Structure 1
Amino acid sequence: MTTPPPPSRFPVPELTKLPEDVRQRILEVQDKAGFVPNVFLALAHRPDEFRAFFAYHDALLLRESGLTKGEKEMIIVATSGANHCLYCVVAHGAILRIYEKNPLIADQVAVNHHKADITPRQKAMLDFAMKVCLDSATVGEADYAALRQHGFSDDDAWDIAGITALFGLSNRVANTISLRPNDEFYLMGRVPKART
């Protein structure tokens, strides 16, 4: 049996050598998920950036807004697909499948959200996200108006743009450091969870 490649091309620190707050965050994620997603291990290489990234991540993804948890994950998966980020498509695709209780949705959204089995509202949301991702300099009033037609507020547009931008950064770092998706992500939300 071959040894799997490392989580990142950069050194992954030992948990015991990390600052207490970083170690605690990783252990909490491990308790909840049953494994440590490689992004936590890779970003722990630079604890200050780990803290900054997850502070902004939490501010955007955990706040109450006009977007559901599943819709926030759709934005991540669609824009990460456009940015060719394997880690984020696989990891957030798993989360999307779980939130939406739909084993097909992540693959559809990652490849072509216009052909995905999602609502017209969600397609409009992803149209805006993809414009922010690929051509943000041209975002204008017509783009906000298109969102408003589907019930999105300007604050929702900010959330869409913020999530897209944060994961634009994440995608580029993940690609550059060869961040490897955990094997566990590939089946999550696709097959029924084993009962214990």
Structure 2
Amino acid sequence: MTDAAPPISRYPVPALEAMPEDIRARILKVQEKSGFIPNVFLMLAYRPDEFRAFMAYHDALMDKEGGLSKAEREMIVVAVSAANQCQYCVVAHGAILRIRARNPLIADQVTANYRKADITPRQRAMLDFALKVTRQAEAVDEADSAALRGHGFGEDEIWDIAAIAAFFGMSNRLANFTSLRPNDEFYGMGRS
């Protein structure tokens, strides 16, 4: 007798065959590339219109060329997700950060305490700002942008830092609300 696998989410996960074609195609493409289906795709497929909107904004923020590096974008996600105690996003995006930064330690360091992590002063300023947007958005002002400009960030990069922090604040809340479980595959990714 084996134990049943824990549920992916508190909400039902639709069968792949029952999903709208565009969503099924995106999920299968991700599965082909990574070798598994990240549970966030399955959880969001419960609400197809929101799946599409979520993925469109995610892609606009995380896949754009220029500005912040892909590793810096993931670093923001990990720091914000750690502050919001989002297990799914810390584990999943921690794996992506390890791969994009080509550093098996960085995600664990940023998760535990980015202020002590082996990051540059520029990256620390970026994460300080992202955490202010996460925890005290009402207190963000021009001085915050001026400090970031002093580290070489342009206006579009400052927008991206804030937008990534805000988007993943929403994502973290949905993942926590639905009890979204990280895929086991994420834990070992990028560690060797």
Amino acid at match of 1:43: L
Alpha-carbon distance between aligned partners in 1 of 2:109 and 2:5, rounded to the nearest angstrom: 28
Structure 2 stretches of 5 or more lacking a match?
none
Alpha-carbon distance between aligned partners in 2 of 1:81 and 1:4, rounded to the nearest angstrom: 25
Cα shift readout 1:5-30 (whole Å, capped 9, x = no counterpart) = 01111000000000000000000000
- What is the DSSP-based 3-state SS (H/G/I as helix, E as strand, rest coil) of the residue aligned with 1:112? helix
Alignment of 1:45-84 (within 5 A): 45-84=46-85
- What is the DSSP-based 3-state SS (H/G/I as helix, E as strand, rest coil) of the residue aligned with 1:185? helix
Instruction: State the shift of 1:112 in Å.
Output: 1.1
**Equivalent in the alignment of 2:9:** 8
**Equivalent in the alignment of 1:194:** none
* Aligned sequence identity (%): 68
Kindly indicate whether the alpha-carbon contact (under 8 Å) linking 1:98 and 1:189 is maintained by their aligned counterparts in 2: yes
**Equivalent in the alignment of 1:126:** 127
Amino acid at match of 1:56: Y
**Equivalent in the alignment of 1:108:** 109
Alpha-carbon distance between aligned partners in 2 of 1:65 and 1:113, rounded to the nearest angstrom: 24
Structure 1 stretches of 5 or more lacking a match?
192-196
Alpha-carbon distance between aligned partners in 1 of 2:66 and 2:55, rounded to the nearest angstrom: 18
Alignment of 1:19-58 (within 5 A): 19-58=20-59
Amino acid at match of 1:128: F
Instruction: State the shift of 1:104 in Å.
Output: 0.7
Alpha-carbon distance between aligned partners in 1 of 2:94 and 2:3, rounded to the nearest angstrom: 26
Kindly indicate whether the alpha-carbon contact (under 8 Å) linking 1:65 and 1:156 is maintained by their aligned counterparts in 2: no
Amino acid at match of 2:74: E
Matched, 1:166 2:151: no
Instruction: State the shift of 1:141 in Å.
Output: 1.1
- Give the TM-score taking structure 2 as reference length: 0.98
Amino acid at match of 1:184: E
- Give the TM-score taking structure 1 as reference length: 0.96
Alpha-carbon distance between aligned partners in 2 of 1:2 and 1:102, rounded to the nearest angstrom: 35
**Equivalent in the alignment of 2:187:** 186
Aligned-residue Cα RMSD (Å) equals 0.7
**Equivalent in the alignment of 2:155:** 154
Instruction: State the shift of 1:3 in Å.
Output: 2.0
